Amino acid sequence: MHAALEGARVPIRMWADPSSVEDAAMRQLRNVANLPWVHGLAVMPDVHYGKGATVGSVIAMRDAVSPAAVGVDIGCGMSAVRTSLTASDLPDDLGRLRRRIESAVPVGFAMHKTPVNPARVPGVGGWDEFWSSFGELHAGVQNLRDRARAQLGSLGGGNHFIEVCLEQGGDDEGRVWLMLHSGSRGIGNELAKRHIDIARRLPHNADLPDRDLAVFVAGTPEMAAYRRDLFWAQDYAARNRAAMVALVQRALADEVPGVRFDEPVSCHHNYVAEETYDGVDVLVTRKGAIRAGSGDLGIIPGSMGTGSYIVRGLGNEASFLSASHGAGRRMSRTKARKTFTEADLAAQTSGVECRKDAGVVDEIPAAYKDIESVIAAQTDLVEVVAHLKQVVCVKG
- How does pLDDT run across 59-97, given as a tens digit for each residue? 999 999 999 999 999 999 999 999 999 999 999 999 999
What is the strand order of the sheet 265-277 is part of? 3-5, 12-14, 38-48, 55-61, 280-287, 265-277, 76-86, 175-182, 161-168, 382-395, 308-313, 297-301
- CA geometry: angle at 367 spanning 5 and 191, to 5°? 75
Taking residues 272-291, what's their average pLDDT? 97
Binding annotation = 73, 159-163, 181, 269-270, 301-304, 308, 325-328, 395
Q: How far apart are CA 255 and CA 151, in angstroms?
A: 25
What pLDDT is attached to residue 8? 86
Sign of the dihedral through C-alpha 49, 14, 189, 201: negative
User: Is-catalytic flag, 325?
Assistant: yes
What superfamily in CATH does domain 3-330+368-395 come from?
tRNA-splicing ligase RtcB (3.90.1860.10)
Domain extent listing, the chain: 3-330+368-395
Binding annotation for GMP = 159-163, 269-270, 301-304, 308, 325-328, 395
What pLDDT is attached to residue 2? 64
Q: How far apart are CA 298 and CA 316, in angstroms?
A: 14
Q: Which of 48, 195, 268, 325 is catalytic?
A: 325
Binding annotation for Mn(2+) = 73, 160, 181, 269
* 0.95 exceeded by pTM: yes
Per-residue pLDDT reduced to its tens digit, 326-376: 999 999 999 999 999 999 999 999 999 999 999 999 999 999 999 999 999
